[in-house]
Amino acid sequence: MRFLIYFLTIFFSVSAQAYDIQTVKAGGITAWLVQDKSLPMVVVRMSFREGGYAWVKPEEQGLPTLVSRTLKDGAGNLKDDAFREQLEDNAIELGFGVGEDEFSISLQTLAEKKDIAFSLLGKALHEPHFEAAAMERAKTELLTAMEQVREDAASLSAYRFAEVGFAGHPYSYSPYGIPATLKNFKGADLRGFIARRFCKENLVISVAGDVSADELKPLLLEAFGALPDRCELAPEVAKAHLREGGEVVRENFDGPQTVVTFGLPGMARNDERFYGWYILNHLLGGSGLNSWLADAIREKRGLAYYIYTSPDSNMRSAQLRGTFASRNETAGEAIKLLKQTIADIRKRGISEKELAEAKKYLIGSFPLQLDTLRSRASFIQMIQLERLGKDYLEKRNGYMERVTLEEINGLVQEYLHPEKLFIVSVGHESRNPEKK
Amino acid sequence: MKLFRILASLWLAACASPALAKLDAKHYELPNGLKVVVVERPGTEVVTHMMWFDVGSTYEPQGKSGIAHYLEHLVFKETEELGVNEYSRRIEAMGGNNNAFTGRDFTAYYVSIGAQHLEEVMDLEAERLQRLQPSQESFDSEKGVILEERAMRIDNQPVQQLQESMLSALFRHHQYRIPIIGWEHEIKALTLKDAMDFYHHYYQPRNATMLVVGDVEANEVYALARKHFGNWRPQPEAKQLLLVEPPRKGEITIKLHHPGVRQPQWLYMYTAPSLGVGDQKIIFPLMVLSELLGSGKTSLLYKKMAVEEQLVIDTGCDYDDFMRGPGTFTVYATPREGASREDFYRAYQHIVRNVAENGVSAEELTRVKNKLKAASVYSRDGNTAIAYMLGQLLVLGKDESYFNRWEDSIDAVGNYDIKAAAALLLKSDPPVAGVLLPEEAK
C-alpha cells in the first residue's frame, strides 16, 4: 500500500511538446525521446529484439527468464545485495522481463539520479556476477512459479493456450523453463545468452521525462556502449499458426469457476488493413460493457464478470485472442454464446452506426493512452517495435477514420469463423453439464 | 568538463524542478453539503472526474452483505432519463473511460475524458447519482455478474479464500470481518429494494465529495457543480457506528487444505494503527519499519529467511494504514520444502526484537527512507492516480497537506522511532496465522 501513496503537483510547463519525438543517437545506439520537464523523473523502456523466451534452442527453455531474474544479484564492484541496495538508495527502479520475442528492461529514476541509474544498468548488463547461490534461489523461484501457474485457473488457461495452440513451435515454450532444462544452467550459459542476444542492432529504446537529448547521449553510451554492434544469428523461429478449431481443450481445475481462453487466426500488425481489424476487435470484445461479447454474455445473461478480446500479434504469429470466466455450470453455455455472437455478426454485418461509434470512441479516447510519462514511454516503444513510423502519433487517428464499412465487413467475412475458434477451458469438468 | 556539465545539469534540474511545489487543491462546499475539490493541471487537455462517497461495505445492514458493491454495479443501469447502458454509451461517444470501485470505507465512480466534456459528464453523473431507477431485469442479470466476480476474486483462488477467512478471524467483531463483495449466500438473497434503500439512504450530498483533477479551472468546476448538483437534496447525516474490535487473547491458526494447491504459503495478520484508529505518531515509523523488514530482496526478512537460513523462497510484509477502522500488518512467506513454520515465526520475532533493542544502521535507514520519499515524485504521474489517492485521503478525513508533509514525515523517522514501532509489533495481540496446504493425504 505504501507505494500507492500519490502526491499532487501543479504542472508549470504546458505539455505542448507531448508529441514531439526526438531521435537521439550515440555510438551506434538510437533512442527516441519525448522530453517533458513537468516532473523531475525519467522513464525508459528498452527491448532486445529476438531476446525473448521463444528465441532459444529447446534445451535452453527458461534461460532468458533466468537471466532476467539474476541480473540484479551483484554486478561490477557491487557484490550480492550491494547492487540492489545501490538501486534503492538512489530510489532507482530497474526491472528486467521476458516476453515471447523480446528481452525487456524498464528503468525509472529521479532526474537528479539519472547518471547513476544508467551507470548501474550498464554494470548489470556488462558485469553481472551470476553467483551460484543467487542462481539457485532464482531457479527455485521459477520452478515455484511454474507450480503456481497450476494453482490459478486464469494463469493455467493462458499457459495451456500457448502450450497447445502453438504446439511444436517455440511460442509454446514455458517462459519459466522446465525442470529438466533449468537445473542445468550455469553462469557460463547465462553469459553466453547475453553475448549472443544483447547487441546494439537489436536494441530499441524509448525515453520520456526530464532529460534532454544532449544529456541522454552520454547516458546511452554508459549503459550500452560496450555492447557488440551485431548479434549472433538467433535460432530460426518459423512462422507460427494458431491451432484452428477442433475439440475444446479441457484442463481440470479445482474451483467453482471455469476460465476460457480462445483464439482465431488474425492479422499482422504491419498489415495495411490493421486499423479495420483493430476497430473490429473493439466491437467484438474491446473495452467496456458495450462490445458484442460483453453485451451477449455479461449484460444480457450475467454469465461472466469479464470478457474481452485483443488483436494479439508477435514477430511470427498473429491472432485474435480473448478470455472470460464463468461458473462451471454455465461455461459451456457461454462458449455457445461466443460462437453464436460471431456467427450472428457474419450474418448481419456491421452497421454504419456501429462503425461510426467505434471510431468516435477510439479517436476520442486516444489522448488518455498518453496521459502519463510511463504510458507515453511504453507507447513510443510500441511504435518502434512495430516499426510504425515517427509520425504515427499524428497519423494514427487518420488511419482509424479512413476505415470504410466495406473494408471492415470484408474482414468479418475473412477472419471471423466460429468453427475456427481454438478454445481452452480450465475448470472443474465433472460439474460441467455441457461438454461441448 | 564532465564535472561542470554534471553540476550545470544539477543546477538546471534544481531550477526547473516543480517537484518541490506543494500540492494546491481548491476546496468548496455547496449549501447541501457536497464537497467539491479541484486540482488544476493546465495544459494536459484531459480530466478525471470522481465522485467519492464515504460510505462503503461497513455501512451495510446485518444480513445484507454485498449490497454496497451491488449498488455500485446498479449505478450503471437505468435512470429516469437514461436507458440500459445508455450512460456508458454516452461516455464512450465522448471518448471517455469510466469505472467504479467499492471499499470498506468508501465507494467511488470516475470518468477520464477530454476536458471539453466535463459539463456533460457532470450532467450524467448528477442524473445517475440522484435519479437512479434500475429495472428488475437489470438487477437480476447483475446478480449473476456479481457472483461470477466473487468466484473470480475469492472462491477460485485458494489463497484468497484463506485471506477472507483470516480477516473474519482477525476482525471477529468489527465490520471489517465481512468481505466487501459479500458472502455468497447473502448476495443471492439481496433484492432490488435492498439496493434502492441503500441508495436513497446513503447516496446524498452530505456523504459525497466531487474530486476533479486535470485541465480545468477550479471556479468553473464549482459553478458546474452548483448547476448540476445544487438541487441534490441532503438527508440527515447518517453516521455509521464503527464497532471497536476488542482485544484478543490466544492465537488462532487457520489451515486450509485445498486440492488445487501445490506450493504451501504462510501468512500472519495483525491489527495495527491506521489513519482512523490508534496512535497516529507511530504510523510513519511503522511504515518505514515495514519497508526495512519486508519489502524486497534487500529486506531484513528476505536476507535472513531466504538467503541465510534458506527457510523460504520468498517472504515479506505489508502495512496498510489507509483505513477508517484498524489497519493491518501482514507477514507472508512461501516456504521451502521441509521448512518449519515455528522456526520461521521464531526467527521473525527475533528479527523484530533485535530492531526493538538495537535499532538499525544509519545506512539501512537512509536507504529505505530514500526509496519511500521518491514515491512523492513517481506518484505524480497522471490525473487518475492522483485523484485516486487524494480521494482516499479525503474520505479518511485528511487532505493534500498529508501529501505536502510526506517527505518531512519520512525524514523525521529516526532510529528511536523505529525501535518504538518494533516494540509495538511485539506488544501487539497475537496474530491470526494462515496456512495454505495441498489436500491432506487420505
Measuring CA to CA, how many Å separate A267 from each of A218, A310, B189, B206?
Answer: 40, 11, 46, 53
Q: Give B 331-370 residues with CB within 8 A of chain A.
A: 334, 336, 366-368, 370
- Give the span between the Cα atoms of A55 and A57, in whole angstroms: 7
The CA-based dihedral angle spanning residues B102, B103, B105, B108, taken in that order and rounded to the nearest 10 degrees: -40
Q: How far is B149 from chain A (nearest CA, A)?
A: 5
pLDDT digits (tens, 9 = 90+) for A46-94: 999 999 999 999 999 999 999 999 999 999 999 999 999 999 999 999 9
Is A257 close to B152, i.e. CB distance below 8 A? yes
The per-residue pLDDT for A36 is 93
Of A24, A425, A401, the residue nearest A205 (C-alpha): A24
- Give the span between the Cα atoms of A400 and A199, in whole angstroms: 35
Element (H, E) at B39: strand B35-40
Chain B residues with CB under 8 Å of A78 CB are none
Is B145 close to A298, i.e. CB distance below 8 A? yes
- Residue B23 — very low, low, confident or very high, per pLDDT cuts 50/70/90? confident
Task: State mean pLDDT over B264-293.
Answer: 97
The per-residue pLDDT for B379 is 86
Do residues B305 and B379 make contact, with C-beta atoms less than 8 angstroms apart?
Answer: no
Q: Which residue has the higher pLDDT, B242 or A231?
A: A231
Q: How far is B329 from chain A (nearest CA, A)?
A: 11
Option in B94, B263, B319 nearest A1 (CB): B319
Give percent of chain B above pLDDT 90: 87
Residue in chain A lying closest to B16 (CA): A37
Cell of A366: 486516444
Helices (H), B203-282: 218-229
In DSSP terms, A35 is beta-bridged to: A209
How many residues does the structure list for chain B?
442
The per-residue pLDDT for A248 is 96
- Give the span between the Cα atoms of B266 and B330, in whole angstroms: 10
Option in A1, A153, A290 nearest B92 (CB): A290
B247 touching A (Cβ < 8 Å): no
Q: Give B 116-135 residues with CB within 8 A of chain A.
A: none
CB pairs under 8 A between A and B: 262
Residue A130 has pLDDT above 70, yes or no: yes
Cell of A322: 480473448
Q: How far is A415 from chain B (nearest CA, A)?
A: 26
Do residues A317 and A171 make contact, with C-beta atoms less than 8 angstroms apart?
Answer: yes
Residue B348 has pLDDT above 80, yes or no: yes
Chain B residues with CB under 8 Å of A298 CB are 145
Q: Residue type at A150?
A: R
Q: State the DSSP string of B124-174.
A: HHHHHHHSB---HHHHHHHHHHHHHHHIIIIIT-HHHHHHHHHHHHHTSSS
pLDDT digits (tens, 9 = 90+) for B91-143: 999 999 999 999 999 999 999 999 999 999 999 999 999 999 999 999 999 99
The per-residue pLDDT for A430 is 65
| Terminal Cα distance for chain B, rounded | 75
Chain A residues with CB under 8 Å of B287 CB are 2
pLDDT digits (tens, 9 = 90+) for A307-339: 999 999 999 999 999 999 999 999 999 999 999
- Give the span between the Cα atoms of B321 and B276, in whole angstroms: 8
How many residues does the structure list for chain A?
436
Of B46, B32, B401, B37, the residue nearest B218 (C-alpha): B37
Backbone angles phi, psi at A161, to 5 degrees: -55, -45
Residue B226 has pLDDT above 90, yes or no: yes
pLDDT digits (tens, 9 = 90+) for A203-231: 999 999 999 999 999 999 999 999 999 99
Q: Give B 275-314 residues with CB within 8 A of chain A.
A: 287, 290-291, 295-298, 303, 306-307, 313-314
Lowest mean pLDDT among A129-133, B141-145, B266-270, B438-442: B438-442
Cβ atoms within 10 Å of B173's Cβ, excluding its own: 11
Q: How far is B155 from chain A (nearest CA, A)?
A: 7
> Residue B197: exposed, middle, or buried by beta-carbon count in 10 A (0-12, 13-18, 19+)?
middle
The CA-based dihedral angle spanning residues B225, B226, B230, B236, taken in that order and rounded to the nearest 10 degrees: 70
Cβ atoms within 10 Å of B230's Cβ, excluding its own: 13
Q: How far is B284 from chain A (nearest CA, A)?
A: 10
Q: What is the SS3 assignment for A177?
A: coil
Is A357 close to B380, i.e. CB distance below 8 A? no
pLDDT digits (tens, 9 = 90+) for B157-216: 999 999 999 999 999 999 999 999 999 999 999 999 999 999 999 999 999 999 999 999
Residue holding cell 542492432? A201
In the set B72, B78, B400, B407, the catalytic residue is B72
The per-residue pLDDT for A8 is 33
Q: Give B 413-442 residues with CB within 8 A of chain A.
A: none
Q: Give B 159-198 residues with CB within 8 A of chain A.
A: 159
Is A91 close to B92, i.e. CB distance below 8 A? no
Q: How far is A436 from chain B (nearest CA, A)?
A: 21
Instruction: Round the average pLDDT of chain A to a whole number and report it.
Output: 93
Give percent of chain B above pLDDT 70: 95
Strands A29-35 and A307-313: unpaired
Residues 6+ apart with CB under 8 A from A291: A282, A283, A284, A285, A307, A308, A309
- Give the span between the Cα atoms of A237 and B60, in whole angstroms: 57
Half-sphere exposure of B309 (CA within 13 A, CB side): 24
Q: Which residue has the higher pLDDT, B48 or B19?
A: B48
Cell of A369: 493512452
The per-residue pLDDT for A431 is 58
Is B298 close to A300, i.e. CB distance below 8 A? no
Which of B212, B381, B403, B405 has the highest number of chain A CBs within 10 A, making it the mutation to test binding with A?
A: B381
The CA-based dihedral angle spanning residues A359, A364, A365, A367, taken in that order and rounded to the nearest 10 degrees: 130
Instruction: Clarify whether B137 is annotated catalytic.
Output: no
- Residue B248 — very low, low, confident or very high, per pLDDT cuts 50/70/90? confident
Is B19 close to A360, i.e. CB distance below 8 A? no
Own/partner pairs, B392-398, CB within 8 angstroms, 24+ separation: B392/B106, B392/B322, B394/B35, B394/B37, B394/B52, B394/B209, B394/B211, B395/B52, B395/B53, B395/B54, B395/B105, B395/B106, B395/B209, B395/B324, B396/B105, B396/B275, B396/B276, B396/B322, B396/B323, B396/B324, B397/B275, B397/B276, B398/B275
Cell of B354: 533485535
Residues 6+ apart with CB under 8 A from A357: B89, B92, B93
- Give the span between the Cα atoms of B356 and B417, in whole angstroms: 9
Task: State mean pLDDT over B260-282.
Answer: 96
Q: State the DSSP string of A279-293.
A: HHHHHHH-SSS-SHH
Q: Is A168 left (phi over 0), alpha (psi -120 to 50) or beta?
A: left
Helices A392-401 and A352-364: crossing angle in degrees, nearest 10, is 160
Is B25 close to A8, i.e. CB distance below 8 A? yes
